Amino acid sequence: MSTQSIVVASAARTAIGSFNGSFAATPAHELGAVVIKAVLQRAGVDAGELDELILGQVLPAGEGQNPARQAAMKAGIPQDKTAWGMNQLCGSGLRAVALGMQQIATGDANIIVAGGMESMSIAPHCAHLRAGVKMGDFKMIDTMIKDGLMDAFYGYHMGITAENIARKWQLSREEQDEFALRSQNKAEAAQKAGKFADEIVPFIVKTRKGDLTVDQDEYIRHGATLDSIAKLRPAFDKDGTVTAGNASGINDGAAATLLMTEAEAGRRGIQPLARVVSWATAGVDPQIMGTGPIPASRKALEKAGWSVGDVELVESNEAFAAQACAVNKDLGWDPSIVNVNGGAIAVGHPIGASGARILNTLLFEMKRRGVSKGLATLCIGGGMGITARSAAATRTSSGNAPSPSMTCSRTTSSFRSAMTAGPIDSASHSRMHAWRCILPPGRECMS
């Protein structure tokens, strides 16, 4: 197995569409194709150099065989390249990235596109008719609810799991609404400041009135107030506290990353967004599935030898304000570094794509702030969580390995000894320092 660092060479996402919004008639694979093209173009990688493509998707019913393969072909990926989809519910987009990392780490692939896509708007209704239907009405099943939003073990909506968390963690309606308002306000400010522009690749929707360019997230509620959120009725339990205002949206969108080794990026002269250095999953009681990020994040931090206080930026998917508040309280991280541009309550939650979407947002914000330690995490229906840990990538120099002139504010003793012994080549530098020089120069390294 390769010990080389694996990097995100580029990343992109579509804007997030509202339910039955601009992407109402757009299949998920068409959204996926656009972000596949974008990550290749942004890194200057030819489609023929790609080894495989992995896309998460929760609601593929009615889209035809292997929508991931459809997305790849539509993006111009050659026929001799493979593509496949996977489903781990809300964690799918991030798990696809982890699977891509594994492919590269084992030497089975060199360059991977990984991410997720979802069209919740066109998820079909269905009926079981193969055995025939008796006279009278019959029941139609909403596949979006059945396959995406309904707990398979207890037979209730994900919203009830949020109610369970609110009761267990003693979270009031007011606390949840205030959290939701902060998410909306942060997302509105970020959108107005153009902070999502680097992430989003425009998507052209054909309409009867001509082409419509969608390059802005549609779900963000500008001008949201606590009063407007507080007026909403409970959505899942008449005596509950979870509402449409303090829950994530039902949305459409796609996001992708381009993965390769750090050495490959250096050879190509690509400055990566970051290294994705570890990931972890964990299981919890399905009745409180939203707490999955708690054990998953602890496992990921333990793998890294990090403490919660070491993390400089967090993207934690906001399935519901109740679960997000519980995760934040239990892990105890600084709330000022969590979802700094708003979360899924404001931006939206296209379930198969969200894992890759929050990773995109995390990496671009890490780059903007010049921070070196980030964490992306999501809860997963059925009682699971997934977390990925990212770190700033070593700067490449014109297609070569990291420059030996780079310095760190703190070095290991072996590296310090080598420095005093005379000039050091870049290969030795990378071996002794384990690719941990963090940029910009002068920032403290990760040793």
Identify whether the C-beta of residue 90 lies closer than 8 Å to the C-beta of residue 317.
Answer: yes
Q: Distance (Å, rounded) from C-alpha 43 to C-alpha 48?
A: 14
Considering the candidates 29, 90, 408, 433, report the single residue annotated as catalytic: 90
Phi, psi for 435 (deg, rounded to 5): 60, 35
Per the annotation, the verdict on 379 as an active-site residue is yes
Identify whether the C-beta of residue 222 lies closer than 8 Å to the C-beta of residue 67.
Answer: no
Which letter does DSSP use for residue 210 in this model?
E
The residues pairing with 441 across neighbouring beta strands, listed in sequence order, are: none
The residues pairing with 10 across neighbouring beta strands, listed in sequence order, are: 258
Considering the candidates 349, 408, 429, 437, report the single residue annotated as catalytic: 349
Residues 6+ apart with CB under 8 A from 56: 85, 86, 87, 88, 91, 92, 93, 94, 95, 96, 115, 116, 117, 352, 353, 355, 356
Among 217, 232, 162, which residue's Cα sits nearest to residue 186? 217
Q: Distance (Å, rounded) from C-alpha 190 to C-alpha 184?
A: 10
- What are the Cα distances from residue 357, in Å, to 39, 150, 278, 354, 417? 13, 22, 18, 5, 43
Q: How many C-beta atoms lie closer than 10 Å to residue 4's C-beta? A: 16
Identify whether the C-beta of residue 246 lies closer than 8 Å to the C-beta of residue 345.
Answer: yes
Tokens 């009830």 map to which residue?
A: 160
Per the annotation, the verdict on 128 as an active-site residue is no
The residues pairing with 355 across neighbouring beta strands, listed in sequence order, are: none
Amino acid identity of residue 215, one-letter, is D
Which letter does DSSP use for residue 237 in this model?
-
Considering the candidates 379, 408, 437, 445, report the single residue annotated as catalytic: 379
Per the annotation, the verdict on 126 as an active-site residue is no
Q: Can you read off the two tokens belonging to residue 443?
A: 């920032």
**Cα dihedral angle (331, 332, 336, 339), rounded to 10 degrees?**
10
Q: Distance (Å, rounded) from C-alpha 17 to C-alpha 122?
A: 12
Helix residue ranges, H only, 106-172: 143, 158-168
Identify whether the C-beta of residue 318 lies closer than 8 Å to the C-beta of residue 328.
Answer: no
Which letter does DSSP use for residue 317 in this model?
-
Residues 6+ apart with CB under 8 A from 144: 59, 120, 123, 250
Catalytic residues: 90, 349, 379
